[in-house]
Amino acid sequence: MALLVMKFGGSSVSDAAAMSRVARRVVAVREAGDQVAVVVSAMGDTTDELLDLAAQVAPGVPPEREMDMLLSAGERMSMALLAMAVQQLGVPARSFTGWMAGMRTDTAHGSARLLDVQPARVRRALDEGSVAIVAGFQGISTDDDVTTLGRGGSDTTAVALAAALDADVCEIYTDVDGLYTADPRIVPSARRVTRLTIEETLEMAAHGAKILHLRAVEYARRFNVPLHVRSSFSDQEGTRILTGRPLTEDTMEEPIISGIAHDRSLGKVTAVGIPDRPGAAAAVVGAVARAGVSVDMIVQNVSTSDAATSDISFTIPEADGRTTVAAVRALQDEMGFADVLYTSHVGKLSLIGAGMRSNPSVASRLFAALADAGVNIEMISTSEIRISVICDQVDLEDAVRAVHTAFELDADEDAVVYGGTGR
Ligand code: ADP
Ligand code: ASP
Ligand code: MG
């Protein structure tokens, strides 16, 4: 008897009919003799709707503790309805909130991190023959307050639960047939990837492919949880994520490129004319980090205005633009630099593939494809298995399609997107 964790995202449980469809899928696995723990997200766009409501009641920055109470309600609705739908099919089911499932987190409301997972009640329900249904995206803090794990966090709940239960696999059910070579909403000719290493999956998630929550992938790597991404709307095989990296015949001949991720929600900050001396970059980037903003790509150049000074540019999440500019401006007089420039609407394209380690021509092919598409590259960064470029957000989707074609990733048939809004 195997133990499966099955996670269903918002578009898979968007209404009553969808709940019943998911229930049938869960029951089929249970009746085949396996134990099933389910993790559910809020129905459809419930989380966005709750955010909109809060913004109307409390414009500006709503109180974070109450925000988490509010947002966690979305997943509670789903878990109870799914438990009812499973029971309707004659199979016992019990739902559990994050705290009932033993999801202990730190106190960082809105982006809490899991500290300890003790799903004793879930285990008991499974041992009694029930389907256990856990609300995703939420936990209980060390202060005993309800917390949420950040947007997309139900994936992380599922992986953490799978690790704690020592499940055989964590299945992530969503609205596309698996992980594709690019977001199929942008590139209809994207190709489904049947297997992907955990390192490549991490790069995809870290650079904007929101199909998997980054922390879920990190958790899966740390605890060696086998992941299987697939659609709740079809029986397609999906994508298996290989934890560990067994060098088998299957993985030896990897394609050079496994996928293209994009991120359209970045901003770019430039501190202009910084006196060129040791410690300048540390001061600027340090101030931004202390403001709680994570810096992504950083470039330092000799200043265009004056050879004795330099310019430092870096990208940040667009939502943190104002905080970041304030943090850098606060240094301006003390450090004596000329100006702080901010550009919102910056996009990032990342080309990812373990096979590029041994293939030096990837970068030139990427730059040529962007040039042919008329896309101006503003910044570049690389890792062993990734090349990222920053461009204007309006060019981003064209850039993704052009690069997808240039690397011969296009499939003959268009990918199916079954639901959701892609928000
Ligand atoms: P869920 O509600 O099930 O958690 P998400 O909306 O979070 O689903 O993630 C699924 C979406 O991720 C897809 O609908 C697709 O638009 C998007 N996506 C982005 N990059 C990729 C990719 N490389 N492969 C597949 N889907 C991707
Ligand atoms: N409902 C939450 C969100 O929309 C968590 C999730 O779906 O994973 O972000
Ligand atoms: Mg998601």
Nearest CA to ligand 1 atom 17: 211
- What is the number of the ligand 1 atom nearest to the C-alpha of 154? 4
Element (H, E) at 315: strand 309-317
- What is the number of the ligand 1 atom nearest to the C-alpha of 181? 23
- Token pair, residue 51, equals 């955010």
CA 10–ligand 2 middle distance (angstroms): 7
Please tell me the pTM assigned to this model. Answer: 0.93
The stretch 7-24 carries a mean pLDDT of 97
The residues pairing with 387 across neighbouring beta strands, listed in sequence order, are 351, 382
State the pLDDT at residue 172: 98
SS3 274: strand
**Are the C-beta atoms of residues 271 and 295 closer than 8 Å to each other?**
no
Answer yes or no: is 180 a known binding residue.
yes
Give the confidence band of 222 by pLDDT, cuts at 50, 70, 90: very high
The stretch 35-58 carries a mean pLDDT of 97
Q: Is residue 332 included in any domain, yes or no? A: no
CA 149–ligand 3 middle distance (angstroms): 12
Instruction: Using alpha carbons, list the distances in angstroms from residue 238 to 190, 228, 229, 245.
Output: 14, 7, 6, 19
Cα–Cα distance measured from residue 363 to residue 265, given in angstroms and rounded to the nearest whole number: 24
State the pLDDT at residue 276: 82
SS3 326: helix
181-210, pLDDT tens digit by residue? 999 999 999 999 999 999 999 999 999 998
306-337, pLDDT tens digit by residue? 678 889 999 999 999 999 999 999 999 999 88
Answer yes or no: is 268 a known binding residue.
no
Residue 249 has pLDDT above 60, yes or no: no
State the pLDDT at residue 254: 65
Looking at all shown ligands, the one closest to residue 208's CA atom is 1
Residue 420 Cβ inside 6 Å of ligand 1? The answer reads yes
CA 265–ligand 1 middle distance (angstroms): 16
Q: At what angle do helices 198-206 and 214-223 cross, to 10 degrees?
A: 160
Which distant-in-sequence residues (6+ apart) come within 8 Å of 421 by Cβ? 11, 45
Cα–Cα distance measured from residue 42 to residue 122, given in angstroms and rounded to the nearest whole number: 20
State the pLDDT at residue 255: 75
State the pLDDT at residue 174: 97
Q: Is residue 413 included in any domain, yes or no? A: no
Answer yes or no: is 75 a known binding residue.
yes
Q: Which of 211, 227, 421 has the most ligand 1 atoms within 8 A of CB, as the residue to mutate?
A: 211
Q: Is residue 285 included in any domain, yes or no? A: no
Which distant-in-sequence residues (6+ apart) come within 8 Å of 46 by Cβ? 10, 74, 77
Q: Is residue 382 included in any domain, yes or no? A: no
Number of domains the chain is built from: 1
CB atoms < 10 A from the CB of 32, how many? 10
pLDDT: is 143 or 243 the higher one? Answer: 143
The stretch 363-392 carries a mean pLDDT of 95
Alpha-carbon torsion, ordered 218, 219, 224, 226, to 10 deg: -90
CA 75–ligand 3 middle distance (angstroms): 13
Answer yes or no: is 175 a known binding residue.
yes
Q: Is residue 78 included in any domain, yes or no? A: yes
Whichever domain contains 142, its CATH number is 3.40.1160.10
Torsion region of 178: left, alpha or beta (phi above 0 gives left; psi -120 to 50 gives alpha): left
Residue 252 has pLDDT above 70, yes or no: no
Answer yes or no: is 215 a known binding residue.
no
Residue 10 Cβ inside 6 Å of ligand 1? The answer reads yes
Looking at all shown ligands, the one closest to residue 232's CA atom is 1
Cα–Cα distance measured from residue 2 to residue 78, given in angstroms and rounded to the nearest whole number: 25
Q: Is residue 357 included in any domain, yes or no? A: no
Looking at all shown ligands, the one closest to residue 68's CA atom is 2
Cα–Cα distance measured from residue 4 to residue 162, given in angstroms and rounded to the nearest whole number: 8
Cα–Cα distance measured from residue 103 to residue 158, given in angstroms and rounded to the nearest whole number: 11
254-283, pLDDT tens digit by residue? 678 999 999 999 999 999 999 888 888 899
Residue 354 has pLDDT above 90, yes or no: no
The stretch 99-126 carries a mean pLDDT of 97
Mean pLDDT of the chain: 94
Q: Is residue 79 included in any domain, yes or no? A: yes
Q: Is residue 131 included in any domain, yes or no? A: yes
Domain that holds residue 210: 3-251
Cα–Cα distance measured from residue 239 to residue 231, given in angstroms and rounded to the nearest whole number: 10
Q: In one letter, which amino acid is 87?
A: Q
Share of the chain above pLDDT 90, in %: 85
- What is the number of the ligand 2 atom nearest to the C-alpha of 213? 8
Element (H, E) at 347: strand 339-352
Kindly calculate the radius of gyration of the chain based on its CA atoms and give it in whole angstroms. Answer: 23
Instruction: Using alpha carbons, list the distances in angstroms from residue 288 to 4, 292, 295, 313, 329.
Output: 42, 7, 8, 12, 10
Looking at all shown ligands, the one closest to residue 154's CA atom is 2
Q: List phi, psi (to 5°) of 96.
A: -140, 135
